Amino acid sequence: MDILTWTYILVGISFSIYIGIAIYTRAGSTKEFYTAGGGVSPLANGMATAADWMSAASFLSMAGIIAFSGYDGSVYIMGWTGGYVLLALLLAPYLRKFGKFTVPDFVGDRYYSNKARVVAVFCALFISFTYVAGQMRGVGIVFSRYLEVDINTGVIIGMCIVFFYAVLGGMKGITYTQVAQYCVLIFAFMVPAIFVSIQLTGNPIPQLGLGGTVEDGTYLLDKLDGILVDLGFNAYTSGQKSMTDVFAITLALMVGTAGLPHVIVRFFTVPRVKDARLSAGYALVFIAILYTTAPAVAAFGIYNALNTVADQPVNQMPEWVGNWQQTNLISINDVNQDGVVQYTPDPVTNEMVIDKDIMVLAAPEIARLPNWVVGLVAAGGLAAALSTAAGLLLVISTAVSRDLCRTFIPTMTEKRELWIARIAAAAAVGIAGYFGVNPPGFVAEVVAFAFGLAAASFFPVIIMGIFSTRMNKEGAIAGMISGLVFTLGYIIYFKFGAGLFGLSDEAVSADNWWFGISPEGIGSLGMIINLGVCYVVSMLTPPPPQHVQEIIQEIRIPRGAGRAHDH
Amino acid sequence: MDVASRKKYWKKNIKILLSLLAVWFLVSFGFGILLVDQLNQIQMGGFKLGFWFAQQGAIYFFVLLIFIYVVRMNMLDREFNVNEE
Taking a C-beta distance cutoff of 8 angstroms, is the pair A263, A392 a contact? no
Phi and psi (nearest 5°) for A561?
-65, 145
User: Which of B34, B70, B82 faces A281 most closely, judged by CB atoms?
Assistant: B70
Looking at the structure of chain A, the number of domains it has is 1
Contact between chains at A557 and B55 (C-beta distance less than 8 A): no
Work out the pLDDT band at A534, boundaries 50, 70, 90.
very high
Instruction: Return d(Cα A406, Cα A412) in angstroms, integer.
Output: 7
CA distance linking residue A346 with residue A353, whole number of Å: 11
Are B62 and A556 an interchain contact pair (Cβ–Cβ within 8 Å)? Answer: no
Q: Per the domain annotation, does A4 fall within a domain?
A: no
Amino acid in position B34: L
For residue B55, give the nearest of A77, A219, A553 by CB distance. A77
DSSP result, A524-565: HHHHHHHHHHHHHHHHHSPPPPHHHHHHHHHHTS-TTPPP--
Pairs of CB atoms within 8 A across A/B: 137
A132: nearest Cα among A524, A439, A453, A441: A439
Structural domain range at position A298: 41-438
Closest CA to A172 of A447, A394, A377: A394
Over range A94-113, report the average pLDDT. 88
Per the domain annotation, does A162 fall within a domain?
Answer: yes
**How many other CB atoms are there within 10 angstroms of residue A267's CB atom?**
26
CA–CA gap between residue B55 and residue A5 (Å, rounded)? 37
The domain that holds A174 is classified in CATH as 1.20.1730.10
Per DSSP, B47 falls in state E
Residue A561 pLDDT > 80, yes or no?
A: no
Confidence of residue A354 (pLDDT cuts 50, 70, 90): confident
**pLDDT tens by residue, A59-68:** 888 898 899 8
Q: HEC profile for A398-457?
A: HHHHHHHHHHHCCCCCHHHHHHHHHHHHHHHHHHHHHHHHCCCCCHHHHHHHHHHHHHHH
CB contacts of B47 in chain A (<8 Å) are 210-211, 221
Q: Which of B28, B52, B69 sits opposite A277 (nearest CB)?
A: B69
Please, what's the largest Cα pairwise distance for chain B? 56
Q: How far is CA A501 from each of CA A19, A176, A510, A520, B26, rounded to the nearest angstrom?
A: 47, 47, 17, 20, 42
Quick one: pLDDT band at residue A567, thresholds 50, 70, 90? very low
Alpha-carbon gap: B4 to the closest alpha carbon of chain A (Å): 12
Summarised one tens digit per residue, pLDDT across range A11-59 is: 889 988 888 888 887 777 777 777 777 778 899 999 999 999 998 888 8
- Among B40, B66, B84, beta carbon nearest to A272: B84
* Domain membership flag for residue A507: no
- H helix runs in A111-234, sequence order: 114-146, 151-162, 168-201, 206-209, 220-231
A 10 A CB-CB count for A153 gives 14
- Distance linking the first and last C-alpha atoms of chain A: 41
Q: Does B9 touch chain A (CB under 8 A)?
A: yes
Nearest-5° angle of CA A12, CA A8, CA A358? 115
Amino acid letter, A353:
V
Q: Which of B24, B70, B82 shows the shortest C-beta gap to A82? A: B24
- Of A204, A240, A242, A238, residue with least CA distance to A224: A238
Separation CA A132–CA B70 (nearest Å)? 32
B22 inside 8 A of chain A by CB: no
In the DSSP assignment, the letter for residue A112 is T
Contact A401, A421 (CB under 8 A): yes
CA atoms of A448 and A523, how far apart (whole Å): 9
% chain A with pLDDT above 70? 97
Rounded CA separation A387/A174 (Å): 8
pLDDT digits (tens, 9 = 90+) for A208-259: 999 988 888 889 999 999 888 888 888 899 888 899 999 999 999 999 999 8
**Considering the entire predicted model, what is its pTM?**
0.91
Pairwise CB contact (< 8 Å): B29 & A559: no
pLDDT band at A446 (very low <50, low <70, confident <90, very high): low
Identity of residue A399: A
Run of H or E including B43: strand B43-44
What pLDDT shows up at residue A148?
Answer: 74
Query: Considering only alpha carbons, which residue of chain B is nearest residue A293?
Result: B56
Chain A residues with CB inside 8 Å of B42's CB?
A: none
Contact with chain A for residue B25, Cβ under 8 A: no
Say how far apart CA A84 and CA A88 lie, in whole Å.
Answer: 6
Say what the ipTM of the complex is: 0.96
Whether A559 contacts B82, CB under 8 Å: yes
Looking at the complex, does the CB of residue B64 fall below 8 Å from at least one CB of chain A? no
Report domain extents, chain B.
22-79
Most confident of A164-178, A507-521, B8-22: B8-22
Q: Which of A492, A104, A63, A477 is nearest to A303 (CA)?
A: A63
User: Which range (A1-10, A466-475, A514-523) has the least confidence?
Assistant: A1-10
B33 contact A CB<8A: yes
pLDDT of residue A119: 85
Residues of A in contact with B62 (CB under 8 A): 81-82, 84-85, 284, 288
Residues with Cβ within 8 Å of A334's Cβ and at least 6 positions away in sequence, in order, are: A314, A340, A341, A351
